[in-house]
Structure 1
Amino acid sequence: MDQLRRRVPFKLAAEDNEDQNTILDESEQEELVQRLREENAKLNRRFLLVTQAIVSLSALLHLIYLFSPTEEPLLLFFPSPAGTQTPSKPLPRPFTLLSLAVHVNMLFLVNSGTTTATSLLQLRFGDLQFGLHPLSYSTSYALALVAPTVCLFLGRSWLTMIWWSITLGIVFAVQSVQDSITSGNESISALDALKYNAPGA
């Protein structure tokens, strides 16, 4: 009688699949890790390509502004009402050169594909040898903050603040992409370390 009253709970096929542990042999594990590694590398290449395009476009805009500085850099896109012009920021060309230097540094970091300060250029003078290294992110942030800080203290318009803050955004974007790539590579390495021996699988 007890056997007739016993309820058999209904299980979905998905629940059955979750309860079953799939054991992969060594070659299947290697294929899985290799496939994930290739997908990660493809995604990293896309990230780097988009980042290079963004940094290059921003550098081009700053280069154009270097040769023809205006009262408000973004007036071309956001015309301001008459009478609201503010005096131009002092030393626009030196600050533009500073921004361009940060952009070039970001391009070096993107093209190197690593977050470590690898040597970019080797200079040799006789027996002396010097290595040119990319600037760290903290130094890049500090340099990118110079122009927006000056604008803030001089009370410039929000359009000018946006223009001079673009370099900050570029540094943040490059650092985010580099961190994402590093995290993905570490995840693949951790997964590779978890491979197990499955005799008879």
Structure 2
Amino acid sequence: MTSLRHRVGFTASDDDGDAQNHVLDDVEQEEVIEDLRQRNDETTARATLVLDVVLPSLRALPSFIPTLEPDPPCPILFTLLALGLHSNLTLLVHPTLALHSTLKALPLPISFSLTYALAAVWPTLSLFLARSWQVTAFSAASFLVVALTHSVLRTLQEGDQALAELETLRYRAPGP
């Protein structure tokens, strides 16, 4: 007599009693994971597009300082610093660009901790020089762009990690 193996899905009783948990088979699991992966890729593409718009548009922002205040100390230095920070953020958003860099000796892109420190120089100097709050807020624009980019990239990395973890939790039921 041959016995057939009948697979019965696990159901758990909830407090309401009406809802039943459905155990996904291998194909359904793959469909769910593929759908989540596709949504994650779409979100990544949208976030990268937003950063591609934000970074170039704010690249030269520090060169347009409000004229009500006296000139900032070393305006060329701070403009170059802002350009460097935004270029570094572009390399962080698009790591493949760093591979094509002609300056192979430089450790590009630099870490976010150093990027934050460099972006905080101008606002800190503005505070120490007792500039108006408008100039100080304006000088913090690069710092805010660094924070925005870091937040978006961290969120995208968390999404990728969650997908990788979901794939490791996949239920596999080998046949008899």
TM-score with structure 2 length normalisation? Answer: 0.81
The Cα of 1:61 is off from its aligned counterpart by 3.0
The separation in 1 between residues aligned to 2:73 and 2:131, in whole angstroms, is 11
Unmatched runs of 5 consecutive residues or more in structure 1? 1-13, 76-84, 124-128
- Provide the secondary structure at the position in 1 that maps to 2:170: coil
Please state which structure has a larger fraction of its residues in strand: 1
Give how far 1:74 is off: 3.8
Pairwise CA distance, 1:130: 3.0
1:59 aligns with 2:39: no
Q: Match of 2:6? A: none
- Correspondence 1:33-182 to 2 at 5 A: 33-62=33-62, 65=63, 73-74=65-66, 85-112=68-95, 119=99, 121-123=101-103, 130=105, 132-182=107-157
Deviation at 1:91, TM superposition (A): 1.0
Residue 90 of structure 2 aligns with an amino acid whose one-letter code is: L
Counterparts of 1:192 and 1:92 in 2: how far apart (Å)?
Answer: 51
Structure 2's unaligned 5+ residue stretches are 1-15
SS for the counterpart of 1:121 is coil
Does structure 1 conserve the Cα–Cα contact (< 8 Å) formed by 2:91 and 2:108? no
Aligned equivalents of 1:121, 1:50: Cα separation in 2: 23
Percent identity between matched residues is 35
Is the deviation greater in 42-51 or in 129-138? 129-138
Q: CA shift at 1:180, angstroms?
A: 0.2
Of 8, 18, 23, the match for 1:16: 18
Moved over 4 A (4+): none
TM-score, normalising length: structure 1? 0.72
Pairwise CA RMSD of aligned residues? 2.2
CA distance in 1, matches of 2:100, 2:174: 48
Mapped contact 1:120–1:133 kept (Cα < 8 A): no
Between structure 1 and structure 2, the one with the greater Rg is: 1
Per-residue deviation, 1:120 = 5.4
User: When the two structures are aligned, how many residues end up with a matched partner?
Assistant: 159
